[in-house]
Structure 1
């Protein structure tokens, strides 16, 4: 697996990482044994950039990584996030970015992850009640104390990124970016280029939709995609019809549609001139290998042109509630 430096300054990471969220929640029944096998295989094959958050599984995902990878801490780059609190309502998200909570959350994550240092610490969402300078200042204190190496932000606007970067260098921004989600290219990605900040696209496979293998009716009852606008009803059917050029490119390369979607994200690094490190998630070893192989797929100019119009034609928002995203109300 090739590597890149994620931001200036930033950690050296493989050009594709592993999103661990689905190992503990949101995508149906947990299978910790399968997830542990996948985590070990990831490290053995060079997929050593692991992404988690304190809200995934209400801390269970961080505990899984800490337990599964004990004794191998020097083999991977660890990213986690803070700032989204859970309540008894499974769908409710509370956002906190006050300085006291930043420290409280970091200490709790360090314990669950069974580590002395977090390589990349993200603010998961912006607390609009707290100046971002306060939040990032508290994060910077963690860097000064050696508990965190680099700082990241998730789902921020270009203005928020600028203000945060003025307080302490930001190494990476994580937001959704894929063939069907490209709003970050309007302002956030150009600002990353200007500031020397890396970009980590989450859901680069459109939560599996871009693989062409996800049928809503077949998903488990507790799979959150059953309630996502782009997956359901007439919008889901319309969006599925947009995948024809993805399928055509896959056939031309002897690849899967998912590999084409990942290759497209990888090639955005060339277009924008910044490190772009997608983090597709999986709990299965064979899917990890499939995703990793996408780094060697090179799309032609004609194929890229055929894929260009997908995002503009997609029907439905990427979340049922866009309030907490960089494309939400505060960005307008």
Structure 2
């Protein structure tokens, strides 16, 4: 039987140590919200420094990746996320640093690439970039973009970003940006390319596009059963295979709510007001308690509970998804810093050793 010939996958994929097992990360959306337990609000300076300290503690705990999102409305402090990532780069030495996500739709891909290539040089090659479309749409009006072009803006600009990553000099013409005529894009990253992921919110159409382009997929999981998100991951790999790529080489990262306490009841009681707080700010409706209680289910994507329960859920998710990275969102909705520190400590001392032991390739 003839050996199947695959299309060449772009040489921009992130590198994973299979002997180490599932990569683990900590990520923040950069929220700046009151603590619903006491209605206290940190100053902007305190919250930015807190995010920086989260990254430092994550590195000390042996976490593989730290990720910070971008947002441009009330309730967030990460409008200039690349600037904050620059401070984190200077304060750390080994941990990978990533955006999560950079809103490509309302930014110039050339400026994005210049910023992140510079960060990569400063970090000695530790930078990754996740390109997204924005689940919160206030920035379209703020930055002067037509929301009616939501999909078109992202697809055109994300494609240009990928082309910039592949080519130092480029000719390009599109609908939403001035043409590039033999434009030389500088500086180049340390290894000439950046790992660039596509952010997917669970919708299968976006997963298909990521697979068609052989781009690593970063999928956000707010809540629900594992089976829902497995469908999107399966669709992603199927699309890559149909497009002629070896889908087994394409990495998947998942991310979702993470909170550990002494027992499940305590974890749910402590964390729910924060999650409800964050969702209420986003959509004005909050997070239904019944839906949040689904975190008790071993097949829920919400990794909330006592430590052994969370470990078992993460391992189950890895068995179902076959993914390469999990990102824990543990500062959602104004979680106080002492609880963030506790969770990072538990993550490093108990969760990571158990998960790595199970998922590492011999």
- TM-score range for the pair, normalised by the shorter chain length: 0.5 to 0.7
8 Å Cα contact 1:103-1:142 kept in structure 2? no
Instruction: Name structure 1 gaps, 5 residues minimum.
Output: 1-6, 85-94, 247-254, 299-332
1:51 is displaced (CA, Å) by 0.9
Structure 2 distance, partners of 1:295, 1:118, is 20
Match of 1:66 in 2: 86
Structure 2 distance, partners of 1:42, 1:177, is 22
Match of 1:225 in 2: 279
List per-residue Cα deviations over 1:32-53 (Å, max 9, x = no partner): 4444433222112211311113
Structure 1 distance, partners of 2:34, 2:115, is 25
Q: How many residues align?
A: 265
Residue 103 (str. 1) matches residue 110 (str. 2): yes
Match of 2:334 in 1: none
Match of 1:328 in 2: none
Residue 135 (str. 1) matches residue 158 (str. 2): yes
SS at match of 1:37: helix
Structure 2 distance, partners of 1:53, 1:26, is 15
* Candidates 11, 17, 31, aligned match of 2:15: 11
- Report the TM-score, using the length of structure 2 for normalisation: 0.57
Structure-to-structure mapping, 1:225-244, within 5 angstroms: 225-227=279-281, 232=286, 235-236=288-289, 238-239=290-291, 241-244=293-296
Match of 1:281 in 2: 330
Relative to structure 1, the CA distance from residue 286 to residue 266 in structure 2 (aligned partners, 3 Å threshold; closer, same or farther) is same
Relative to structure 1, the CA distance from residue 69 to residue 286 in structure 2 (aligned partners, 3 Å threshold; closer, same or farther) is farther
Structure-to-structure mapping, 1:1-332, within 5 angstroms: 9-12=13-16, 15-22=23-30, 24-26=31-33, 28=35, 29-30=41-42, 31=46, 32-55=48-71, 57-70=77-90, 72-73=92-93, 75-81=94-100, 84=103, 96=105, 101-108=108-115, 115=122, 119-125=127-133, 127-130=150-153, 132=155, 135-145=158-168, 146-147=188-189, 148-155=193-200, 157-167=203-213, 169-176=214-221, 180=225, 183-192=228-237, 195-196=247-248, 197-205=250-258, 211-214=267-270, 223-227=277-281, 232=286, 235-236=288-289, 238-239=290-291, 241-244=293-296, 256-257=305-306, 260-261=309-310, 263-282=312-331, 283=337, 284-292=340-348, 293-296=350-353
1:258 is displaced (CA, Å) by 6.2
Relative to structure 1, the CA distance from residue 287 to residue 143 in structure 2 (aligned partners, 3 Å threshold; closer, same or farther) is farther
List per-residue Cα deviations over 1:90-127 (Å, max 9, x = no partner): xxxxx717xx8222333345668984767322221284
Structure 1 distance, partners of 2:227, 2:257, is 11
8 Å Cα contact 2:66-2:96 kept in structure 1? yes
SS at match of 1:12: coil
Q: Which has the larger radius of gyration?
A: 2
Relative to structure 1, the CA distance from residue 105 to residue 297 in structure 2 (aligned partners, 3 Å threshold; closer, same or farther) is same
8 Å Cα contact 2:12-2:196 kept in structure 1? no
Structure 2 distance, partners of 1:279, 1:47, is 10
Structure 1 distance, partners of 2:260, 2:226, is 11
- Report the TM-score, using the length of structure 1 for normalisation: 0.61
List per-residue Cα deviations over 1:230-251 (Å, max 9, x = no partner): 9848x31x235545556xxxxx
Relative to structure 1, the CA distance from residue 96 to residue 262 in structure 2 (aligned partners, 3 Å threshold; closer, same or farther) is farther
Structure 2 distance, partners of 1:281, 1:140, is 34
SS at match of 1:17: strand
